[in-house]
Amino acid sequence: MTNRDHFLDLLHQMLLIRRFEEKCAELYTQQKIRGFLHLYIGEEAVGVGVMQALQPEDAIVSTYREHGHALARGMSAGSIMAEMFGKREGCSRGRGGSMHLFDAKLRFYGGNAVVGGGIPIAVGLALADKLRNQSRVTCCFFGDGAVAEGEFHECMNLASLWKLPVLFVCENNRYAMGTRLDFSHSVTDLSKKAAGYCVPASAADGMDVLAVEEAAQSAAESVRSGKGPYFLECRTYRFRAHSMYDPELYRDKAEVEEWKKRDPIPALIRRIEEVGTGENTAELERQVAKEIDDAIAFAEAGTWEPVEDLLRFAYSERPV
Amino acid sequence: MTYRDAVREAIRTALRADDRVFLMGEDVGRYGGCYAVSKGLLAEFGPERIRDTPLSESAFVGAGIGAALGGMRPIVEIMTVNFSLLALDQILNNAATLLHMSGGQFNVPLVIRMATGGGRQLAAQHSHSLEGWYAHIPGIKVLTPATLEDAHGMLLAALQDPDPVLIFENALLYNMEGELPAGAGPVDIAHASVRRQGRDISVITYGTSLWKALEAARGLTEKGIEAEVVDLRTLRPLDDRTLVDSISRTHRALIVDEGWRSGGISAEISARITEQAFYELDAPVQRLCGAEVPMPYAAHMEQGAIPQVATITAVVEGMVRPHG
């Protein structure tokens, strides 16, 4: 794959996430999607960039803002949309919704909606790999809010102590819901916290997919080489509200506009134009629009799980 | 052998039989386990499979969940039930929910063992009986072995279960002497067990209280009262059938539970008896529970806070007219 093709592939993925979520917001106002809906818009470069460094056998543990991670991992837009519609054809059979996307085949261990709660699971997945001598990486996404949770610190210590193959990816979007970084953290340079656990760390510009990709490749390489965990902080920004219920009283519109100037999608388009022959991205947009139309059609055509099945999946239906 | 030895023997058997099994928790290795359950296992199986953890309950319980998802069969030891609250997020929000949230994709074959119960003058942060609380949670199973055979066999059965199983070992039982039957293996974890038959009343209990109830029942014989003693064994799922069958024979029920009375497992059992066996009852269901106070330190106060042989005897006598 040439540089240009690769850039176009990255652009395709970011555009898919962007347009998919714009559509989600629309469908939310139409009440097709209910519950909490946390949009990733603005942060696409992080998920897409990091995912480039992962192999099919690697595992991913994510957060409640995970549509982008799921799409970038290769989950079908249809199965995600159907999940948000609450349909049986959804990736979690409609039992999880927007915050709990899962895919066993892709080793996508969910959408965890308790901040920091997925981090110990990632450590355990990595422990299993280490005990079974598998050279796989477990990539754990979490936000700046999670870095204030005890579980983050417990897990950094444990993963470092046991030299576990975890790639910790902090998506620092500067707000834990509505609480700004400097109101949450005594040390706002989050990547510095890793030093207390002897975990190698770096910070990447989370608005630049190529920068994220490069940082993630090098971080994943470090983890894969058996040196133990790595902490990668990606500095990014959420363009939309925390969830659909958020009136955004805690930040200035001017600040949001300032960050939008660094929108990772136009930035990548400019890069493509620099290396390419000036081909426009209209064709890509058409392709993405079609994928999303198909996803919605799939979700609309989906079925409702019979309520008689309500009690299923509290316990396994067969022994292992 | 002791109850402690029985648990250790089960862990050893599991470690030998299945290389996916490992034990982790605070002081399980070099210290030998805070109740000496895992003593000697580090030398036998090495530090990869007998893993000392930092004091990070949430991290190592969650790591147990992740390792189970990753194909292992972890046994996680938590020192004592009060400390398990530091990992409650992982137990409730992850272990118990992942299978359901993922639409059946991710089961969590994790076993968590912990000590529970009072009676050792360890006061209000080491002595509570919260197993009834855990029994509130769909998605997990809650086992309370009272005998050596169950201490051994329930752990082996739990390791064969596809879903998270919590085992509550009452710390007063660790020194209890007994024998394991030859060829002891996994035991049934779906049913309660009638430990003593009697015609006059069903005393329903579990854990350490089982032995108090049996002693009380022996004493009551002299007064012409024959108490049936039912060992719940498993608090989730509850075996309603065995309870209803017992009450259909005795027509009276007393529930003995070290846990607090309000909203406890005894309340749940009482409700089920009322729902399913009301017309079998000759007297109101009674409960004898832990006093509604954080556990006190002083011995006489602590003993007063927990059901005892004398209190069980007195309540039964009040409920049953002796057969003359």
The amino acid at residue B172 is L
The verdict on B73 and B202 lying in the same domain is no
Pair (B113, B215) in one structural domain: no
Asked if the C-beta of A135 comes within 8 angstroms of chain B's C-beta atoms, the answer is no
B232 within domain boundaries? yes
Grouped pLDDT means (10 residues each) for chain A, 320 residues: 87 98 97 96 98 98 98 98 98 97 98 96 98 96 97 98 98 96 96 97 98 98 97 97 90 96 96 75 92 98 97 89
Residues B162, B13 within the same domain: yes
Q: Residue B108's pLDDT is what?
A: 98
DSSP A226: I
Query: What pLDDT, on a 0 to 100 scale, did the predictor assign at position A278?
Result: 57
User: Taking the CB of residue B226, how many other CB atoms lie within 10 A of it?
Assistant: 16
What is the least distance, in Å, from the CA of B232 to any CA of chain A?
A: 20
My answer on whether B145 and B17 are in the same domain is: yes
Taken as a whole, chain A contains a residue count of 320
Does the pLDDT of residue B289 top 60, yes or no? yes
Sequence-distant (6+) residues with CB within 8 A of A154 are: A120, B54, B56, B58, B59
d(C-alpha B209, C-alpha B212), whole Å: 5
Contact indicator for B145, B151 with CB cutoff of 8 Å: yes
A312 touches chain B (CB under 8 A): yes
- Residue pair B251/B203 in contact by the 8 Å Cβ criterion: no
Chain A positions in Cβ-Cβ contact with residue B93 (cut-off 8 Å): 114, 117
- Does the beta carbon of A104 lie under 8 angstroms from any beta carbon of chain B? yes
A100 to chain B: which residues are within 8 Å by CB? 101-102
Predicted pLDDT of residue A320: 64
Among A103, A111, A121, beta carbon nearest to B62: A121
Domain limits at B239?
Answer: 193-319
B135 and B260 together in one domain: no
The pair of three-digit structure tokens given for residue A37, joined into one six-digit string: 């809906």
* pLDDT of amino acid B106: 98
- Could you give the ipTM of this predicted complex? 0.96
Q: In this predicted structure, what is the pLDDT of residue A2?
A: 76
The residue from B173, B205, B227 where one domain ends is B173
Same structural domain, B165 and B251: no
The answer to whether the CB of A57 falls within 8 A of the CB of A32 is no
Confidence of residue B322 (pLDDT cuts 50, 70, 90): low
Residue of A nearest to B137 (CA): A314
Residue that the structure tokens 């991992």 belong to: A73
C-alpha triplet B54, B57, B60: angle, nearest 5° = 70
Q: Where are the beta strands (DSSP E) in chain B?
A: 21-25, 50-52, 73-80, 111-116, 141-143, 165-170, 193-196, 201-205, 227-231, 234-236, 253-260, 286-290
Residue B161 shares a structural domain with residue B199:
no
Q: Delimit the domains of chain A by residue range.
A: 3-309
B324 pLDDT tier (thresholds 50, 70, 90): very low
Residue B181 lies in a domain: no
Residues B99 and B36 in one domain: yes
Closest Cα in chain B, distance from residue A154 (Å): 6
Are B286 and B157 part of one and the same domain? Answer: no
Residue B211 in any domain: the answer is: yes
Residue B197: inside a domain: yes
Asked if A14 contacts A209 with a C-beta cutoff of 8 angstroms, the reply is yes
pLDDT above 70: residue B323: no
We report the CATH number of the domain holding residue B15 as: 3.40.50.970
Q: Which residue, B25, B62, B97, is CA-closest to A152?
A: B62
CATH for the stretch A3-309 = 3.40.50.970
Read off the CATH number of the domain in which B264 is found: 3.40.50.920
8 Å CB contact of B59 and A92: no
State chain B's mean pLDDT as an integer.
97
Respond yes or no: is residue B228 known to be catalytic.
no
Judgement on whether residues B209 and B246 belong to the same structural domain of the protein: yes
Task: Encode pLDDT of B192-223 as tens digits.
Answer: 999 999 999 999 999 999 999 999 999 999 99
Measured between beta carbons, which residues in chain A are less than 8 angstroms from residue B138?
Answer: 314
User: Each residue of A107-146: pLDDT tens digit?
Assistant: 999 999 999 999 999 999 999 999 999 999 999 999 999 9
DSSP state letters, B67-101: HHHTT-EEEEEEEEHHHHGGGHIIIIIIITTHHHH
Residue in B20, B73, B102, B140 to test binding to A, most A beta-carbons within 10 Å: B102
Are the Cβ atoms of A104 and B99 closer than 8 angstroms? Answer: no
* Total-model pTM: 0.96
- Could you read off the pLDDT of B98-110 as tens digits, one per residue? 999 999 999 999 9
Q: Is residue B144 part of a domain?
A: yes
Q: Would the pLDDT of B282 be above 50?
A: yes
> How many domains does chain B divide into?
2
Is B121 found in the same domain as B221? Answer: no
Q: Which residue of the set B26, B77, B126, B302 is catalytic? A: B126
Tokens for B239, please give them.
């075996």
Query: Does B218 share its domain with B293?
Result: yes
Q: What is the pLDDT of residue A273?
A: 87
Q: Say how far apart CA B143 and CA A317 lie, in whole Å.
A: 20
From A151's Cα to the closest Cα of chain B, the distance in A is 6
